[in-house]
Amino acid sequence: MKNLISQRTWQEENRRINGKYLSVVWLFCALPAISTAADWSQWRGSLRDGIWREDGLLTELPVGQLPLLWDVEIDGGYAAPTVSNGRVFVFDRVVSQAKQSERIHAFHSISGQELWKYRYECDYKEVDHQAGPRAAITIHDDRAYALGTMGDLVCVNVQSGELHWHKKLSQEFNIRMPMWGLSSAPLIFENLVILQIGGDDGACLVGLDRLTGALRWQSLNDNASYSSPILIRQLGRPVVVCWTGERLVGLNPATGHLYWHYRTPETKWIRNAASPVWFDDQLVISGFFSGTMLFRLHPDKMDVDLLWHRQGSDEKHTDGIHSSIAEVVLTRDHIFGVDSHGELRCLDVRTGDRVWENETVIPQQRWSTLRLIPQGERLWIFTEQGELAIGNISSSGYVESSRAQLIRPTKLQEPTRRQGVCWSHPAFADRCVFARNDEQLVCASLAAP
């Protein structure tokens, strides 16, 4: 059988992302034209779908250490880097004896030169794993939007780092703080910035004016999860899809009006971290305790139907895919993802039955994770050991062609297990990969000679 990822083509461009309709519905026909350059301007890329759309790349990685274009010192954090118009943005936390603060950095994408940084004081209180901010910075036009762990929402100018506005959302909305703090990346829709924050009085999700920070709408009484919302289209309308601490919801992005919802299983604690994944008329979510749920967008009304739910008896005896923090890859026929202890799996999209499992990609440990990035005919994998791999994935299995070390795993993100991890999602732009740990941000060229 031909490689399933390689057969994706664009059918329509009408999803509203960053103020434009840019819907990508993949069909399995022929290899699409891929852009020669692309930004990675928000969580999981500029279309928020985790797909890398560049060509002219290496077909095989060197043995050992991948040569770096540059590396720079930063401090702790889980927040993924983002890339826009030749600038790389990353979010970290500084702890000194006198004070704690969160910082937004901007670096030149080719040289690594620091262009500016913006710093504000922020004490971490009553949150576990205090390595640093969780949410990727979102870039739109000339502004960067950063949501800190304790609810600081900062909007700064991308060229100068000058502050436009700063909101203390934890105070304004009396946030019921999740165990690990806020981690949902800001989503832009037209003139709004949309966030999942878990505030009181119907403010689980809020829509703020992106130019001023003023409240435009608030919606739902749910507790917040760690999952970032996405933007899809259903029946010709834009819909914000978010997995809260209690249910999968579809909202009108302009008003916050609830179109539809589906209550997800209660678990011993909220662990929903991966974003929903959209393909054609289907949505899939996967959680460490709750397993995998596949939904169909209703063809005649604003609603969803549950097609199947696969959940094991516990985290060691799993069914489907019990994802720790990483999103799955959804195609017309299959779902690919990493299970609770690091097993790479393939499911039949019709039933959720397991087609195959591979336990060799990373060591088998609790919370083990992989980042899966489709690109043309190939699948790029970033491991929690800081390795980058190239392979092919299909209904027949995963075949790896090469692997190299990109960045060293560090202990701050997961101090209680392993010898270090790299849990932050890398960014892919300008034919380069950008990755961070708790000590540095690195860039390596993946351009073909």
Locate the domains of the chain by residue range.
5-445
Q: What is residue 107's predicted lDDT score, i.e. its pLDDT?
A: 98
Task: Name the band, by pLDDT with cuts 50, 70 and 90, for residue 243.
Answer: very high
Helix H, strand E, coil C: the string for the chain is: CCCCHHHEEECCCCCEECCEECCCCEEECCCCCCCCCCCECCCCCCCCCCCCCCCCECCCCCCCECCCCEEEECCECCCCCEEECCEEEEEEEEECCCCEEEEEEEEECCCCCEEEEEEEECCCCCCCCCCCCCCCCEEECCEEEEECCCCEEEEEECCCCCEEEEEEHHHHCCCCCCCCCCCCCCEEECCEEEEEEEECCCEEEEEEECCCCCEEEEECCCCCCCCCCEEEEECCEEEEEEECCCEEEEECCCCCCEEEEEECCCCCCCCCCCCCEEECCEEEEEECCCEEEEEEECCCCCCEEEEEEECCCCCCCCCCCCCCCCCCEECCCEEEEECCCCCEEEEECCCCCEEEEECCCCCCCCCCCEEEEEECCEEEEEECCCEEEEEEEECCEEEEEEEEECCCCECCCCCCCCCCECCCCCEEECCEEEEECCCEEEEEECECC
Mean pLDDT, residues 372-393: 97
Q: What is residue 37's predicted lDDT score, i.e. its pLDDT?
A: 63
Residue 21 pLDDT > 90 = no
Between 191 and 8, where is the model more confident? 191
Q: What is residue 316's predicted lDDT score, i.e. its pLDDT?
A: 87
Q: What is the pTM of this model?
A: 0.92
Per-residue model confidence as pLDDT tens digits over 251-273:
999 999 999 999 999 888 898 99
Per-residue model confidence as pLDDT tens digits over 278-299:
999 999 999 999 999 999 999 9
Per-residue model confidence as pLDDT tens digits over 68-114:
999 999 999 999 999 999 999 999 999 986 789 999 999 999 999 99
Residue 28 pLDDT > 90 = no
Output the average pLDDT for the chain: 91
Look at the domain 5-445 and name its fold: Methylamine Dehydrogenase; Chain H (2.130.10)
